[in-house]
Structure 1
């Protein structure tokens, strides 16, 4: 028996805002969508255009308050081929929420305050 990663999920308040953020910040594109027949939810799956792993953004029609992310100790980690250019891009977007210069990484936060770790290329 072998298990493989397929996707991660983030619940979002404003799907259009989140889709725009992920496209601008990370270049992720929507590759698939599921809309509930009764309109109660939308699942939008984003891809990086390289791997098969997806980020599922879930919008719930009846959810109106910010999601409780607890201590926000979980995150996605994304590797980028040009770390310095990514850093400058995210700095201009004003979405960098934490930096660890000793480790050579930083985090951005999306519109719902989920954290995404940005990693430099593997050496």
Structure 2
């Protein structure tokens, strides 16, 4: 078995694709409209789907927002330098909701960004602790 993708429902597909490509540096791998179901799927990632886990953005036509609920946590992205990644997000017009620095219960350096729909993205340095 292998993890294929994580799906997020989005209210503005173009804005979300722009965020994940221009701000986070992912590539749009494929996109398809499903007129009978009135939805569009877009798959994005840092590598091809054959060898990498990717992100699936689902846009249900006519739905502009979702209640994220309290069960969702975040997507984690490994970066070489958390401080630099957070600065790059800000420079690209993205929103940082937790500045880079040590996590509150350890020494691992983290930062959090927020996508256009309010989903949180955690940046973790490549040298992070695995517990």
Q: Does 1:77 align with 2:76?
A: yes
1:72–1:115 contact (8 Å) kept in structure 2: no
1:50-109 Cα deviation digits (max 9, x unpaired): 751110000011313x21011364110000123232121123325101246222101100
Distance 1:69 1:52, change over 3 A: same
Structure 2: 5+ residue stretches without partners:
104-108
Q: Unpaired segments of 5 or more residues in structure 1?
A: none
| Whole-angstrom CA distance in 1 between matches of 2:18 and 2:37 | 21
Give the length in aligned residue pairs: 120
SS in 1 for 2:14: helix
TM-score by length of 1: 0.85
Are the aligned partners of 1:8 and 1:56 in contact in 2 as well (CA < 8 Å)? yes
- The residue that corresponds to 1:32 in the other structure is 30
Would the aligned equivalents of 2:94 and 2:115 in 1 still touch at CA under 8 Å? Answer: no
Aligned to 2:106: none
1:113 is aligned to 118
Distance 1:72 1:17 in 2: 24
- Is the Cα–Cα contact under 8 Å of residues 5 and 53 in structure 2 kept in the other structure? yes
Deviation at 1:14, TM superposition (A): 0.6
CA pair 86-101 structure 1, distance change in 2 beyond 3 A: same
Instruction: Measure the CA separation in 2 of the matches of 1:87 and 1:62.
Output: 32
